[in-house]
Amino acid sequence: MSDLIAVQGLVKRYSGFTLDRVDLTVPEGEIVGLIGENGAGKTTTIKAVLGVIRPDGGSIRVMGKDPKDRAALEKVGVVFEDSYFYGGLNAHQVDRILSGIRRDWDSDKFQRDCRAFGLDMKKPIKDFSRGMRMKLSLSTAMASHPRLLVMDEATSGLDPVVRGEILDIFLTFIQDEGCGILLSSHITTDLERVADQIAYIHQGRLLFQRNKDELLEETAVVRGSASMLDRLPKDLVLVRRDGGLGGSAALVKDGAAARRLLPDAVVDRTSIDEMMQLYGGRDEA
């Protein structure tokens, strides 16, 4: 199984923010969820992967090619947070435009998908709701039969019904051999539902990229007094937060080991949301 995206040591510097040596992979057949707080570096990472911005360091390969080589992007479908066609255009015009740009554009598929999504082909994009615009973007991304979908906050701002529809499409897409998805979102429940791996970016650094099931199975939150948590070995603790309303809490790599060490402590399974809160809180403490 090869990697559709392979990022090594990616560095991008802006004034006041640095994306610092990020390593990230998207293997074939998997959905990688990229999580992080607002401004953590998710969009910057995605832009670098797509060749929209020039990295200051590191290497990026998209299906084995440098994304600066636009041919590398022939088999990549992209969905950004909002529509990128002028609002006065309609889906029919988008179809005609992209059929003249993408060699493998499948007009029939695009129109079929638009119909399935209930999109009026003649209605100006500016009159679409946000959900409809996202569906149009997704139809656009899928119509050239991509092997890789890259989506930046594709489900944010959508109601649960539309989000569910879109997540189902991702799960269907990934059934095809050799396909993969990189999906950035801060709606972590979506990722818990569809992602195979979770990559967490925090303040410009990738804290981890791990198999989601293993992550949620093994990682746990230990709650108790600060003195109790002091008894946990340092290499077991990923992050610790002291002095909150519920006392102290520590995110640990191995919940079972923590239970053995601290039989009196409360050891809970964790969620991605809670992990983010604990990591986020680390900097406030």
Nearer to another protein, 18 or 99 (CB): 99
Select the residue interacting with another protein from 11, 89, 238, 261 (CB under 8 A).
89
Return the number of the residue (150 or 215) whose C-beta is nearest another protein: 150
What does the H/E/C string look like for 37-101? CCCCCHHHHHHHHCCCCCCCEEEEEECCECCCCHHHHCCEEEECCCCCCCCCCEHHHHHHHHHCC
Residues 13-52 as x/- pattern, contact with another protein by CB under 8 A: ----------------------------------x--xxx
What's the CA gap between 107 and 276, in Å, rounded? 41
Positions in 164-223 near another protein (CB under 8 A) = none
Contact call for residue 78 and another protein (CB under 8 A): yes
Smallest distance, another protein to C-beta of residue 72, A: 9
Q: Please say which residue, 31 or 94, places its beta carbon nearer to another protein.
A: 94
Choices 96-104, 114-122, 247-255, 260-268 (CB under 8 A): range interacting with another protein? 96-104
Looking at residue 283, the DSSP 8-state letter turns out to be H
Sequence-distant (≥ 6) Cβ neighbours of residue 25 within 8 angstroms: 3, 5, 6, 7, 32, 209
Spatial distance between the Cα atoms of 162 and 131, rounded to a whole number of angstroms? 7
With H, G, I as helix, E, B as strand and everything else as coil, classify residue 256: helix
Instruction: List helix spans (H) across the chain.
Output: 42-49, 91-99, 107-116, 130-142, 160-173, 188-194, 212-218, 226-229, 255-261, 272-284
The piece of 1-9, 90-98, 107-115, 276-284 that touches another protein (CB under 8 A) is 90-98
Q: Cβ 142 to another protein, closest distance in Å?
A: 14
By CB under 8 A, name the one of 42, 85, 149, 219 that touches another protein.
85
- Cβ-based nearer residue to another protein, 86 or 213: 86
Instruction: Name residue 58's beta-bridge partners.
Output: none
Let me know: does 262 contact 254? Beta carbons within 8 Å: no
Binding range to another protein, per CB under 8 A, among 69-77, 160-168, 188-196, 219-227: 69-77
In whole angstroms, what separates CA 35 from the centre of its chain? Answer: 6
Q: How many contiguous H segments (helices) and E segments (strands) does the chain have?
A: 10, 13
User: Site map for another protein, 123-162, x if CB under 8 A?
Assistant: -x-------------------------x------------
Nearest to another protein of 181, 229 (CB atom): 181
Q: Which two tokens stand for residue 265?
A: 């402590």
| Structure-token pair, residue 80 | 């950004």
- 5, 35, 76, 198: residue in contact with another protein (rule CB under 8 A): 76
- Examine residue 241 and tell whether it contacts another protein (CB under 8 A): no
Determine, following the binding rule CB under 8 A, whether residue 70 of this chain makes contact with another protein: yes
The footprint of another protein (CB under 8 A) covers 47, 50-54, 70-71, 73-74, 76, 78, 80, 82-89, 93, 96-103, 124, 150
